[in-house]
Amino acid sequence: MDWIKVSVLTNSQGIEPVIGRLSQLGIYQVEIEDEQDFLNFLEENKKMWDYVDEELIESKKGKTKVNLYLADNMQGHEQLKLLKKDFEDFKKIAGAEFGPLEIELDTVREEDWENSWKKYFKPIKIGNRIYIKPEWEELKDSEGRIVFTINPGMSFGTGSHESTQLCILQTEKYLKEGSTVLDIGCGSGILSIIALLLGAKSAIALDIDKNAADIAMKNAKINNVDDKYATYTGDILNDKDLYEKIRGQYDFVFANIVADVIIPLAPIAKTLVKPGGYFLTSGIIDFRKDECIDAITKEGFRVVEILKENDWVSMLFTL
């Protein structure tokens, strides 16, 4: 079945009155798009990213909508007719107080949204040794490369992003066989699992999202390295119990996150990296590179290598 997406254009003050009006028509399930809520969300969660695309901010500017979905059938069209008439009357009563109160329509086709993106995710080669292959794709010739098979689910980390690719290049170059690995902010587990495939002895993966940690373990099983792999959920910056669980000194520590997490992570990383071991940081936008270098070298690390692609930087440090 297809659906009619109905958007009622309003303003922040009009959200509750519009929802009330819709409930009188027997419509209770709605989604709200509000510029101020969006800006508040960015402010409250700013440590999760270093910048937001200006086009995204512009697309939300001055826009408040209440969206609902009606079945694209006779019953849905009857309901739509009643809704349009009701909001014509409401607009006459409310005037400009609650915004334009206009109706926008769009058609949403029935589709398996969870899986439709898979057709765009194809095998990719990275560096000289790695081939990343989605679980649902056949790979006829690996060309002698190490194949990492992945099903990222809803987690970050397919290997397509510059920050991940730069990390893989440096891992391929500097990871020693038999290394112990810690992956902070593991996402799909791509970096730590590839480290195991390259010869690491063991890996521990952390993420604040339990779903990500679960997906990382599933990917470890797909690649037959789950016997060397452990996952934990939590925020290592604030969770002392988590720190005690993973406490130790590792040969290779990944932090492919963002600058606002990497900077306060630096003193913790110092306690987790063996002398002569490596701390690999990525997910850093170029204009924040120097901040990260200052914070990490302040803890006694030395810069080994900095790679850049487009606006993204990956930096390898050692103690």
DSSP string, the chain: --EEEEEEEE-GGGHHHHHHHHHHTT----EEEEHHHHHHHHHHTGGG-S---HHHHHHHTT-EEEEEEEESSHHHHHHHHHHHHHHHHHHHHHTTTT----EEEEEE----HHHHGGGG---EEETTTEEEEETTS--S--TTPEEEEE--TTSS--S-SHHHHHHHHHHHHHPPTT-EEEEES-TTSHHHHHHHHTT-SEEEEEES-HHHHHHHHHHHHHTT-GGGEEEEES-TTT-HHHHHHH-S-EEEEEEES-HHHHHHHHHHHHHHEEEEEEEEEEEEEGGGHHHHHHHHHTTT-EEEEEEEETTEEEEEEE-
The type of residue at 51 is Y
For the segment 50-58, the average pLDDT, to the nearest whole number, is 59
Residue with the bigger pLDDT between 310 and 35: it is 310
Chain segment 155-178, per-residue pLDDT in tens: 566 777 888 999 999 999 999 999
Residue with the bigger pLDDT between 290 and 162: it is 290
Q: What are phi and psi of 221, to 5 degrees?
A: -65, -40
The predicted pLDDT at position 318 comes to 98
Q: Which tokens in the block code for residue 236?
A: 């290592």
Cβ contact 172:129 at 8 Å: yes
Q: Provide the β-strand partners of residue 313.
A: 284, 308
> CA 40, CA 57: separation in Å to the nearest integer?
12
Chain segment 216-259, per-residue pLDDT in tens: 999 999 999 999 999 999 999 999 999 999 999 999 999 998 89
Confidence class for position 108, pLDDT limits 50, 70, 90: confident
Chain segment 78-92, per-residue pLDDT in tens: 889 999 999 999 999
The predicted pLDDT at position 37 comes to 66
Q: Which tokens in the block code for residue 90?
A: 């409401």
> CA 17, CA 103: separation in Å to the nearest integer?
15
φ/ψ bin of 234: left (φ > 0), alpha (ψ from -120 to 50), beta (otherwise):
left
The predicted pLDDT at position 57 comes to 58
For the segment 53-66, the average pLDDT, to the nearest whole number, is 68
Q: What proportion of the chain, given as a percentage, has pLDDT over 70? A: 86
Confidence class for position 13, pLDDT limits 50, 70, 90: confident
Q: For each of the domains in the chain, give its residue range(s) and CATH number, in order of start.
A: 3-110 (3.30.70), 116-318 (3.40.50.150)
The type of residue at 92 is K
The predicted pLDDT at position 158 comes to 74
Q: Which tokens in the block code for residue 117?
A: 């993106």
Q: What proportion of the chain, given as a percentage, has pLDDT over 90? A: 59
Cβ contact 309:165 at 8 Å: yes
Pairing verdict, β 31-34 and 64-71: antiparallel
Q: Which tokens in the block code for residue 245?
A: 């669980």
User: What mean pLDDT is reported for the chain?
Assistant: 88
The predicted pLDDT at position 72 comes to 85
